[in-house]
Amino acid sequence: MSLHKELHLTERLLRANIREGLILPMVGLLARLFPVPGLVLSLTLSQVVLLLVKTTACFVCHLYVFELINQVTSVAEDAANKPYRPIPSGLLSVRGAHRRWAISWVLCPLAAAYIFGNGAESGWLFVEYEAWTYFCYVWPRPNNWFFRNAFATVGTYNMFRLLDTVIQSTVPTFPVLPTRVILALAAWVMATVQMQEFQDVEGDRATNKRTLAVIVGPRGERILRAVTALLVLGAGAVLLCVTYTCLGRDVSPGMDRAWLLSGMGLTSALYTLFAGVVGVRLHLDGGIAFDRKTYKRFYMLAAYMMVGYLSFWNTWARRVEW
């Protein structure tokens, strides 16, 4: 297969989840930069370019190893829900996908360790993600809603830990996100990521996939939509309350109070706006394409704002008595 065809195949493999698997960590990278403009201005152009290139390459690999196993193990489901994907559309054979799976699962952790990240830590984070993906998608492949949500939750935690290693391999002085902040993001994902199931409910029911939307059935789906909307909107209320609390905090000398508060205010307001759109669209229940747009566009925009807010808040919290 020519390089052009392989690149086209890779684009088709990654297309469906590029907002979650590639744009999200890139937003995470930019969110680390905005709260510390002084540190950013101290970077050389070569450091900035290298950081962007390494982050992009690392998370293309991160998404690639997931998509191969995801699509190899869900051919029947994809035929019903996503017939445009490479295997059901005939662009890639199952045998060819298995071959790429084996090669990428060896090469990508090595690339993470020796090219993208900071050595063994980056490599092990990649291996841990592969092991978690294997557990959830190959064996024992638990078929229940908890592990559907938990897969995305653990994957998010792993993604932002891996991002830290990529950043520090390029700029060792750059501050990393503490565990509590990444856990807060992961908890938000665990509580709300069932958003992704509404668009696939018919195909999931046909293939006996035990997602929350399938378990509650058509009658319970309205309640599940309402609860999910409240959880997404409730997080916005929490962000606004935390930002208001920060207004009265004493700050350390030299801290750019206005910049950090503006960042928290803007990201919390935008999060609440997108969360409101998600809530309205969940209530309207406009069909498969409508639900797909709700998740892929508005929920992911809310996720990006959540990442931005946590980064601004973390910079604030490190400089005050929190």
**Residue 302 sits in the same domain as residue 186:** yes
Question: Do 184 and 163 fall into the same domain?
Answer: no
Do 188 and 294 reside in the same domain of the chain?
yes
What is the distance, to the nearest Å, from the Cα of residue 266 to the centroid of all Cα atoms in its chain? Answer: 21
Angle between helices 120-137 and 145-170 (to 10 degrees): 160
Same domain as 306, residue 280: yes
**155 in the same domain as 41:** yes
Answer yes or no: do 109 and 199 share one domain.
Answer: no
Domain coverage including residue 264: 177-322
Q: Which residues contact 269 (CB under 8 A, 6 or more apart)?
A: 240
User: How many domains are there within the chain?
Assistant: 2
Assess whether 167 and 314 both reside in one domain.
Answer: no
Say if CB 123 and CB 117 are below 8 A apart.
yes
> Are 167 and 265 within one domain?
no
What pLDDT sits at residue 284? Answer: 95
Rounded Cα distance between 52 and 283, Å, is 39
Residue ending a domain, among 141, 161, 176, is 176
| Shared-domain flag, residues 140 and 23 | yes
- Nearest of 223, 212, 249, 267 to residue 35 by alpha carbon: 267
Nearest to 51 by CA among 190, 224, 170, 213: 170
Q: Where is the domain boundary, 159, 176, 193? A: 176
**Of 176, 211, 242, which one is at a domain's C-terminal end?**
176
User: Do 231 and 125 sit in the same domain of this protein?
Assistant: no
* This model's pTM is above 0.85: yes
Q: Are residues 230 and 153 in the same domain?
A: no
- Give Cα 191 distance to the centre of its chain: 14
In this predicted structure, what is the pLDDT of residue 23?
A: 97
What is the Cα gyration radius of the chain? 20
d(CA 155, CA 62): 10
The DSSP secondary-structure symbol of 177 reads P
Q: What is the CATH number of the domain that holds 133?
A: 1.10.357
pLDDT of residue 80: 77
* Low-confidence residues in the chain, pLDDT < 70: 1, 250-255, 321-322
Same structural domain, 275 and 293:
yes
